[in-house]
Structure 1
Amino acid sequence: MKNTQHDNILDSMHAVLQNEIDALEQVKMSLDETYVHSVETLHECHGKVVVTGIGKSGLVAQKIAATLVSTGTTAVFLDGGNAIHGDIGIILENDIVIAISKSGETEEILNLLPYIQEIGAPLVVITCNINSTLAKRATHVLYAPIEEEACALGLAPTSSTTASLAIGDALAISLMRLNGFTAERFSKLHPGGTLGRRLLLKVSDVMRSGPNNPVVTIDDSISNMLYQITTKRAGAVSVIDDNQYLVGLVTDYDIRRILENGDNILSLNISDVMNSDPTSIYSDEKAISAYNLMKNREKPFLVLSVIERRSNKVIGLIHLQDLVSKGL
C-alpha cells in the first residue's frame, strides 16, 4: 500500500511537470514577430510599465512587475479589481500596459480598456485566447497556446500561469539586454543580496579601523604588541613606522613559532618576530577581492593590513571572519 501511494504521488508530480514542460514548449514554438515588436515597444517606453491581472493572473502580474523592476525596467503592478475604483489613475499617457488574462474575457480587465485607449497607452496582452475581446483590442498579443491545464480537473490555473510567468521573464530579460543592464547595476538594486554585497561592499566598509585597528610601531615593546593582539581580538597586529607606512605584520602564528623554538619572546624586538613582507590591500578595493586574496592561496591566511591608496598609510586591518559575517 505504501509503495502504491508512493508511486502514485511520483506519477502525479511527473505528469504535472511534463504538462507544464509541454506548455512551455508550445509557447516557445509560438514565438513570432509579435514578441519582437512587443519588446521593442516596451524598450521605447518613456514612462513606466503597468502590469495588471485578476486572481492567479494578478499574482503572476505582480511577479512580472517585480522582475522588470529588478532588471532595470520601471514597472508597477495594478490590481485589476481595484483599478476601476480609482487606482487606474496610475496609468499615464507615456506608460505601457501589460494585461494578463487566460480567457481574454476577464470583466475587470475589459473595464480598463476605455481608459487605456482614451489616454493612448499601448496595450500588450498575454492570453491563451487569441480570438478574445482583449486580444482584438490589444496593440500586441502574446499568445500562449495552452491546450490543457496540469490540474487533473482542468480547472486550477497551472500550465497557463506557468506560461504567462515564463513570457514575462522572457520580456524582462530581453529588455535587460537591450538596456545594457549590468551586474554592477543589478547589485545596486539588490544591496541585501549576495551579489549586491560582492559588488558593492568595499574593504573600508568591513575593516577594523580607528580604536579597533590593532597596530604598533616597529619600535614599540613586545608586551604592547601582545596586548594589542589580545585586546583587539584580531589574532594579528600591523607594524608601522613613524610615517604610518606598513613595515610588517605579526600574527598568532608568528608568536607560536617563537614560543615553540623555546625563545624568550619578551627579550626580542618586534622586528625579530614580524613578517617583513606582508600582503596588504587598499581600502577602496572590493571586499570580495580581500576574501579571494585570503582564500585563493596554497596556504590561506586570515588577516590583511589595509592601506589608504592616496597616502599609502595603514588605516585598518581586515579579518577573514569579518568578511564571512557579511555573507561573502
Structure 2
Amino acid sequence: MKLSVLDQLPVTEGQTAVGAIEKTIELAQLADQLGFERMWFAEHHGGASYASSAPEIITAYVAAATKRLRLGTGGTMMMHYSPLKMAEVFKTLSALAPGRIDFGVGRAPGGDMRSAKALASGNQVKHDDMYGKLLTTLELIRDQRPADLIYRETLASPVNVRLPEAWLLGSSGNSAMEAGRMGINYSFAQFFMGGMSKEIFETYRNFFEPSYYAEKPAINVAYMATVAETQEEADYEAGPVEIHRLMLTKGGKLDFLTPEGAQDVKRRLTEMDKIKLTEDRKYRHLVGTPKIVGDQISQEGELFGFDEAMIVSITHSQAKRLQTYRLLAKELL
C-alpha cells in the first residue's frame, strides 16, 4: 500500500497560522524521509481554522525543502480560477520541480458562499461546466489549442515544461465518470462524506480512456486518521478534530480545541451527538493503534481496489500528528 499525506494546515488552539506553515514543512520533510508517495495541500477560504488558502504557494515552498516527495494541491478549487491561470500556475510549478508536481482539482468552493462571491469580485459564482473548464486547462497545460474560443489564441506559459500529474477529486462519485473519460487519475475523499463503494471505482475504470496524462486508471483514497501506540491515547488525541467536525455539521464554532477541552465538550454532548461521533469513526475517521488502522486501510484497499491511501491527521500537538504518520509508515510501507 502506498501512503500519502493530505495537509489542511490546521491552526490549533494557542497556535498561529505562521506556526501551522512551519509545521507543514516539518511534516513534509518527515514524509520525504519515510517514503510517502505524495503530499497535497487543501484549499480553504473564509475561516481562521486553516492556513491553506493558497495551496499552490505552499507547494512551491515545500518543493524547495524536500527531495523526492511528489507535491501538489488536493485540490485547487477550480470554480475560482480561469483555465489559463490554472495552467500557467501548474506549468510554473512543474518547471520549478520537474517530475514532482500534481495538479489536483475539485469542484467545491472550499469555503462558504460569501468567500466564493468575494473571490469572484462580487460577480455571480459560476458552478456550471466545471468539467469543460478542466478539459480546457488540461489542453493548455499540454500547449494545445483548446476548442474554447476564449483560450484558442493564447499560450499558457512557460511552454515546453514537463507536465504535472492530473487528478480529479470527488466525495460523492459524481466525478468518477468524468475523470475516466478525460484519462486522468481519481482521488476519493472518504474523510469528507464517507460513501466509498466498488460501484464508484468501477465507473471510473469502465469509462477510463488512456490519455497523455495517464496510460491506466489510478485511484487514491483520503482518510482522516489518528494513530497512537494505544487505543486510549488515540481516542484522547482524536477529540479535537472530532468536536471540530461535529460543530461543522451543527453550524457551531470551528476551533481546534486542546484534547482536554475536547473531553470537556464530549461530557456535555447529547446522545444524538455521541451517535454521530460513533458513525464518523466507522467510515471517515480511523482512530486506533497502527495495526487496527493499518489493517482497515489494507482490507478496504483489497475490497475496493485501490493501492494508495492519503492520510489527513489533525491533532493539537505536532508531535502527536507526526506520530500518526510515523506509525502508519512502519505498519504499511
| TM bucket normalised to smaller | under 0.3
Question: RCO higher in 1 or 2 (8 Å CA, sep ≥ 6)?
Answer: 2
Q: TM-score normalized by structure 2?
A: 0.23
Larger Cα-atom Rg: 1
Q: TM-score normalized by structure 1?
A: 0.23
